[in-house]
Amino acid sequence: MDEKKLVEGLKKKQLWAYEVLYDRYAQRLGSVIKSYLGVDDVDDVIQETFIKVFKNIKKFKGKSKLSTWLYRIAVNICKDTIAKRKRQNHLLVDFQESEDQRISEPPAPNDVFKEVMDELSFEELMDIVAKLSEEDRLLIKLRDIEGMSYDEIAEILEKPVGTVKSRLHYARKRLRELLEEVEYDV
């Protein structure tokens, strides 16, 4: 099904369109949200994202891809969640999570982690990635795991493309430094 037909169905509030939207994007949104927030609040943010889509789909003008619009909504909700946590003095990430709460499948083979997967267990890698800032995790997730273009990421984060490229460069550099700290040569 093409995106235009899906958007038309969503604007007409057709149930099938929301089912297709959820099936197509919920898992990918969850993955991005998890990289931004950790495991906390992922389901709530996914639900809130789809509620906002339901309420605001008529405002979607099609100037960007539907997925870009969805990611922007999810990232904005993540930012709001982090701001609420800071106001309430909650921890941003619980680094004491049990192993069974972590992601159980390795990331896509074309991502930045490809070179170290042979030497490093996925759990060890996720522990290292968890040490990055929310923005660094999000940038690496969107570009290296989801395979999004710089333009799409810039639109989602509402930042210039040059800023996205620069920040991604430094996020990868920080990841490389963290990997080198645990004596893995990338």
Tell me the CATH architecture of domain 1-94. Orthogonal Bundle (1.10)
- Per DSSP, helices labelled H in the chain are 3-11, 15-37, 42-56, 66-87, 122-129, 134-140, 150-157, 161-181
Domain ranges of the chain: 1-94, 97-186
Show pLDDT as tens, one digit a residue, over the chain (186 residues).
Answer: 788 999 999 999 899 999 999 999 999 999 888 888 877 788 889 999 999 999 999 999 888 899 999 999 999 998 888 888 777 654 434 433 333 444 444 444 444 445 544 556 667 777 788 888 988 988 988 888 788 899 999 998 889 999 999 999 999 888 888 887 776 444
Q: How many Å apart are CA 26 and CA 28, to the nearest integer?
A: 6
Q: So what's the pLDDT on residue 89?
A: 55
Residue 132, classed as helix, strand or coil, is coil
Q: Is 34 exposed, middle or buried (0-12, 13-18, 19+ CB in 10 A)?
A: buried
Q: Which CATH number fits domain 97-186: 2.40.70.10, 3.40.50.1820, 1.10.10.10, 3.40.50.2300?
A: 1.10.10.10
pTM greater than the 0.85 cutoff: no
